């Protein structure tokens, strides 16, 4: 939490500070969200309650629709993007819903809050030959770190998992007989994700010759290790991907999420149905997966424009 947010929180009227503490406890204990998500929600709600207090509100029931709207409008005048405004509105609705369910307010005032939807931009996607070049950039390495980097790249592209899911894998989460990963996704939801033969070869090399060389007493069950033998940090995984894409001729600079986007797009282009891709990626809603149909349509347009004689 930034110093500005911490100062605003410390200055809140006692009743508002108390409900904020209760809401934070709810996020941590009841909804099983990541620490990053909890911090984001709390920071947004601190801003909302600080705005309410500056308008003279000192109790939860003083939070009404005009206060919510003026808070969002204030952000817009300060240059907040549509995406940021949509995120802040979602945090406000989560908070007002909790207030009402906790019987701290007579109604859920956030139900009537309308905010702009964030623009969904098309993600950078590697072409199949670019993805192959990126993933194979660490192929042939024999030192432990190189073997580890090869596994990072192969698994991210082969399975389409998130970088947080990748670094969270334990050795026992790999079913090598069936070539399946047991992945713990958002909301602690578990799913099984397949991977292919090249990823299996990289895993075999890492587990037989790479991991034993880096493992220390404190390594625990972590599948992927850093140079000091601890569980691989997601920032290091991102560095590995960015370095690999930088080395691939013509490839856009994408991180782990770019490999995930690319895997999903290539699976769809290969004929998979949207529901299967939803399950592969661990999306709670099919609407989230549908962005990949836009990616494939854009690609189809580009191919049509180049290949059709009357395009």
State the catalytic residues: 162, 186, 257, 260, 283, 292
Could you tell me which residues are beta bridge partners of residue 192? 182
Sheet holding 174-175, edge to edge: 174-175, 180-184, 190-194
Cα 234 to Cα 92, 105, 157, distances in angstroms = 29, 40, 16
Reported as type and span, the H/E element at residue 19 is helix 14-29
Phi, psi at 191, each rounded to 5°: -145, 160
- Between CA 231 and CA 113 the distance in angstroms is 42
- Between CA 175 and CA 109 the distance in angstroms is 48
Q: Which residue has the tokens 């949207």?
A: 274
DSSP state letter for 270 = T
- Sorted by sequence, the CB contacts under 8 Å of residue 86 that are 6+ apart come out as 115, 116, 117, 118
- Between CA 42 and CA 98 the distance in angstroms is 13
- Between CA 96 and CA 88 the distance in angstroms is 12
């Amino acid at each position: 939490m930034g110093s500005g947010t911490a100062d605003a929180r410390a200055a809140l009227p006692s009743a508002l500070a108390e409900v904020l503490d209760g809401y934070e406890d709810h996020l941590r204990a009841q909804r099983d969200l990541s620490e990053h998500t909890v911090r984001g929600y709390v920071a947004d709600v601190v801003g909302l309650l600080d705005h309410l207090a500056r308008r003279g509100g000192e109790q939860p029931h003083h939070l009404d629709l005009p206060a919510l709207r003026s808070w969002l409008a204030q952000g817009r005048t300060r240059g907040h993007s549509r995406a940021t405004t949509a995120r802040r509105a979602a945090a406000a609705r989560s908070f007002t819903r909790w207030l009402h369910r906790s019987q701290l307010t007579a109604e859920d005032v956030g139900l009537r809050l309308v905010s702009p939807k964030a623009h969904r931009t098309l993600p950078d996607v590697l072409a199949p030959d670019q993805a192959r070049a990126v993933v194979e950039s660490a192929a042939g390495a024999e030192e432990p770190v190189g073997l580890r980097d090869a596994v990072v790249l192969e698994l991210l592209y082969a399975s389409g998992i998130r970088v947080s899911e990748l670094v969270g894998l334990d050795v026992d989460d790999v079913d090598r007989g069936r070539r399946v990963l047991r992945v713990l996704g958002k909301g602690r939801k578990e799913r099984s994700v397949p991977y292919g033969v090249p990823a299996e070869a990289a895993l075999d090399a890492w587990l037989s010759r790479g991991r034993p060389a880096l493992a220390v007493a404190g390594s625990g069950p972590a599948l992927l290790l850093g140079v000091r033998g601890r569980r691989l940090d997601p920032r290091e995984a991102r560095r590995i991907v960015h370095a690999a894409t930088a080395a691939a001729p013509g490839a856009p600079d994408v991180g782990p999420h770019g490999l995930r986007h690319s895997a999903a797009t290539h699976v769809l282009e290969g004929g998979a149905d949207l529901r299967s891709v939803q399950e592969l990626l661990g999306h709670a809603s099919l609407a989230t997966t549908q962005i990949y149909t836009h990616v494939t349509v854009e690609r189809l347009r580009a191919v049509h424009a180049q290949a059709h004689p009357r395009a």
